[in-house]
Amino acid sequence: MTMDFDVVIVGAGAAGIAAAIELQKTNLSFVVLEARNYIGGRAFTDRETFISTPVDLGASWIHSFGSRNPLYDYYQRLGKDDQFDYDDEDGDALIIDYNGRPLLPHARQRAKLVLSRLYDRLDEFAGNNRNSDDQSIEQVIQTVYEQLIESDEQVKRIVDLSLSGMEQYEGSNLNNLSAKCWETGDAPGGDRWVSCGYGTLLQRICKEHNIPIRLNTLVTHIDTSDTTRIAITTSDSSSALLCHRIIITIPLGCLKRNTIIFEPPLPEWKREAIDRMGYGLMNKLVVQFPDCFWGSSTRTIIHACTVRRGRFRFTICLPSPSNILIFFVTGVFAKELETLTDNEILVEIMNFLQNIFPKRTIPNPIRYKFSRWSQDPLAYGSYSNFAVHSNPQTIADLAKETADGRVHWAGEHANSDDGSENWCYACVHTAFTSGQRAAKAIQKQLNNS
């Protein structure tokens, strides 16, 4: 059987969902093909593992929260939500040294000065247009860092704690990140933690709009050699799919790994943008305990590690009755943990907890779940970032149509700079915006043709 659509959307994450909602406003026929058995992609809420608490293993904050965010109204319609934001700066954060002791005020003050010098150095590099060649953030700050850190180990740990915040945010280590694009496209505005789960929110949006989505359908080939119809091959061999336009929203990690074969192959400029853009790794290690031994008023633990920068730097604490700790791990450390078994990861976590709470008895966990996004063949990582030598033009190329305007591209990595002060990328809401943009472009093309 052959099925013919005006538009096929590949992927039912935020970008694919937004494109579908936009196309629903037209008379164009379309379908969404999704390889997973659920909607939401990297916004995934686990509602099964933990007793009475949904937990996001992917996205959890709505960044740039406010009325201009395309997900704002949907979030408001959720009604009651715990409005605790679990961010770094929160008054209920337990900010501690590697051994659980407080960070000394004079060391924090000194670290603040060092950091402001490092940030000045980055501002200077990023703002200096004569620097035609890019370098990594690590390279650019290295000399100043070494000069300023001197021999105070606690100051060094606090500086590293702050720098690793940048690594956590970007999902990558500083030696991979572009100094020229330092702070380019960072999400402006505040964040909102979605306590019912960001994945839950996307699923509710799909339900509200009654979007036609075919789950468990892996796209393997896209053939644009016929100029009238695009042919799509999927894992479901019972039907062949044809369409006039296609929107591809699969993650950058999948594009880097060529998980879909294009016939003819993608043009060189598109391949180059795919290779050039950075794509990081952030994982969440979620552990549920029988009680809230860390103290019910503590909502986050921020820890200055002595072993390596950023190791277990940030942990979210969900109070009773959840009694859950969510450890955020990033970059090379996250990748190394992915090679361990669950039991080995648990040992690492328990040792860490014993170090920061030396006088407490840490109870045995009752449940746990660890994401391994870099091993997920439908993601191969967490989200994009500016690697050395990539820049907003790289995102513009990732978003640019191919095959004479018949193949459209969307996704968190393909939200090109629209010149607005709110522009950012790598987030759920920006993936959503990119999907809206691709669908509108198609509507314009087909209404004109």
Ligand X SMILES: Cc1cc2nc3c(=O)[nH]c(=O)nc-3n(C[C@H](O)[C@H](O)[C@H](O)COP(=O)(O)OP(=O)(O)OC[C@H]3O[C@@H](n4cnc5c(N)ncnc54)[C@H](O)[C@@H]3O)c2cc1C
Spatial separation of the C-alpha atoms in residues 281 and 374, rounded to whole Å: 7
- DSSP assigned state of 69: S
Among 57-65, 98-106, 152-160, 266-274, the segment contacting ligand X (CB under 6 A): 57-65
Residue 155 binding ligand X, by CB under 6 A: no
Q: Count of residues binding ligand X (CB under 6 A)?
A: 42
* For ligand X, the closer CB: 51 or 261: 261
Candidates 430, 17, 83, 11; CA nearest to 253 is 11
Please check whether residue 275 is in contact with residue 233, taking contact to mean a CB–CB distance below 8 angstroms: no
Residue 205 binding ligand X, by CB under 6 A: no
Cβ within 8 Å of residue 312, ≥6 positions away: 303, 305, 327, 329, 349, 352
Restricted to residues 384-443, the positions that interact with ligand X (CB under 6 A) are 411-412, 426-429, 431
Residue 137 binding ligand X, by CB under 6 A: no
> Minimum Å distance from CB 273 to ligand X?
15
Read off the amino acid at residue 154: Q
Q: Which residue in the set 383, 386, 409, 423 belongs to the binding site for ligand X (CB under 6 A)? A: 383
> Minimum Å distance from CB 15 to ligand X?
3
Residue 14 binding ligand X, by CB under 6 A: yes
Residue 61 binding ligand X, by CB under 6 A: yes
> Minimum Å distance from CB 132 to ligand X?
31
Spatial separation of the C-alpha atoms in residues 382 and 389, rounded to whole Å: 20
Spatial separation of the C-alpha atoms in residues 236 and 247, rounded to whole Å: 19
Residue 194 binding ligand X, by CB under 6 A: no
Please check whether residue 232 is in contact with residue 4, taking contact to mean a CB–CB distance below 8 angstroms: no
Residue 313 binding ligand X, by CB under 6 A: no
Q: What share of the chain is helix, strand, coil (3-state, %, to 5)?
A: 35, 20, 45
Spatial separation of the C-alpha atoms in residues 347 and 341, rounded to whole Å: 10
Q: Which helix (H) or strand (E) holds 5?
A: strand 2-10
Residue 373 binding ligand X, by CB under 6 A: yes
Residue 253 binding ligand X, by CB under 6 A: no
Restricted to residues 24-43, the positions that interact with ligand X (CB under 6 A) are 33-36, 41-43
* For ligand X, the closer CB: 15 or 161: 15
Residue 69 binding ligand X, by CB under 6 A: no
Residue 348 binding ligand X, by CB under 6 A: no
Q: Which residue in the set 94, 246, 247, 254 belongs to the binding site for ligand X (CB under 6 A)? A: 254
Phi, psi of 445 (to 5 degrees): -65, -50
> Minimum Å distance from CB 346 to ligand X?
19
Among 75-83, 247-255, 264-272, 307-315, the segment contacting ligand X (CB under 6 A): 247-255
HSE toward the beta carbon, residue 47, CA cutoff 13 A: 12
Cβ within 8 Å of residue 121, ≥6 positions away: 140, 141, 144
* For ligand X, the closer CB: 70 or 319: 70
Residue 60 binding ligand X, by CB under 6 A: yes
Among 76-84, 88-96, 156-164, 372-380, the segment contacting ligand X (CB under 6 A): 372-380
Residue 250 binding ligand X, by CB under 6 A: yes
- DSSP assigned state of 178: B
Residue 182 binding ligand X, by CB under 6 A: no
HSE toward the beta carbon, residue 8, CA cutoff 13 A: 26
Residue 300 binding ligand X, by CB under 6 A: no
Please check whether residue 223 is in contact with residue 230, taking contact to mean a CB–CB distance below 8 angstroms: yes
* For ligand X, the closer CB: 140 or 187: 187
Q: Give Cα 289 distance to the centre of its chain.
A: 27
Name the residues that contact ligand X, by CB under 6 A.
Answer: 10-16, 33-36, 41-43, 58-61, 63, 218-219, 249-251, 254, 259-260, 282, 284, 371, 373, 378-379, 382-383, 411-412, 426-429, 431
